[in-house]
Structure formats: structure tokens, C-alpha cells
Amino acid sequence: MNRKIIAIPSALPGGLDAGMGMHFGHCEIYTIAEVEDGKITSVRTLPPIAHQQGGCLAPVNYLAGEGVNVLLAGGMGMRPLMGFNQAGVEVYFAGNFPTVGQAVQAFMEGRLPAFTPEHSCGGH
């Protein structure tokens, strides 16, 4: 596995033991996990930004600008999903996992499905 920078919407305070934030655009904080060769090499947090500047695509551009190339989410609307696809960010459905660490582990094991319109939660 090559190097991946994974963003996971999280409950405060973030980190691998934090609960999953089920909607990427309205989370309390993002946990950023860097993974290389099947191992987590670093974990940090990133504060969310408001939707006002750029609407639903503001968080998409923000995360892509931070080098994120994978997003694990429980829910999002179609506009941001299309934005992530256009930005080259892979999006996976991780809404079945209670903690960030469990979602990241499932991703590393190849157990997460690609996020599809069926996972969408409407407008944003």
C-alpha cells in the first residue's frame, strides 16, 4: 500500500479513540491519519471550517488542500461526494464503526466499500 493521508470526521477531541462524526461537513474535528505499508505512521487533528465560504465544497477543498487523498465518512451529500471525486480523493463508507481507529483499521484491511449515492444524506 502506498502512502495515504486519511481524513475522518470525528467527535472531540479527535484521534483514533474518538467516536466517528457521522457527517463529514458537520463534524466537531477531523482526525488525520497517515498510513504507509499497512501501518499508521502519524495521527493529528484538524479543525473543521464553516460552509459559508464556498458552500458545501469548502470542506472538500480544505481537506484536499491539506493533502488528504482518502476520506472515511458515515454520511455526506452528493455535491461534496462529486467534489471529492473531482479532487481525486477516494471516499469510503465507514458509518458502521463506532471509533475512528476501527474505521482506519477496516480501511487498511480493505473492508470498506466505496461511498456511493446510496450512502448520501441529501443536499449537503
Which among 39, 46, 29, 30 is positioned nearest to 4, based on CA atoms?
A: 39
The reply to whether 118 falls in a domain is no
- The model's pLDDT over 13-22, given as tens digits with 9 standing for 90+, comes to 999 999 998 7
Cis peptide before 13 (omega within 30 of 0): yes
Cell of 47: 479543525
CATH of the domain at 14: 3.30.420.130
The reply to whether 120 falls in a domain is no
pLDDT band at 123 (very low <50, low <70, confident <90, very high): very low
Is residue 24 predicted with pLDDT exceeding 60?
Answer: yes
Domain count across the chain: 1
Mean pLDDT of the chain: 89
Domain assignment of residue 61, given as a range? 4-113
- The model's pLDDT over 64-100, given as tens digits with 9 standing for 90+, comes to 999 999 999 998 888 889 999 999 999 999 989 999 9
pTM of the model: 0.91
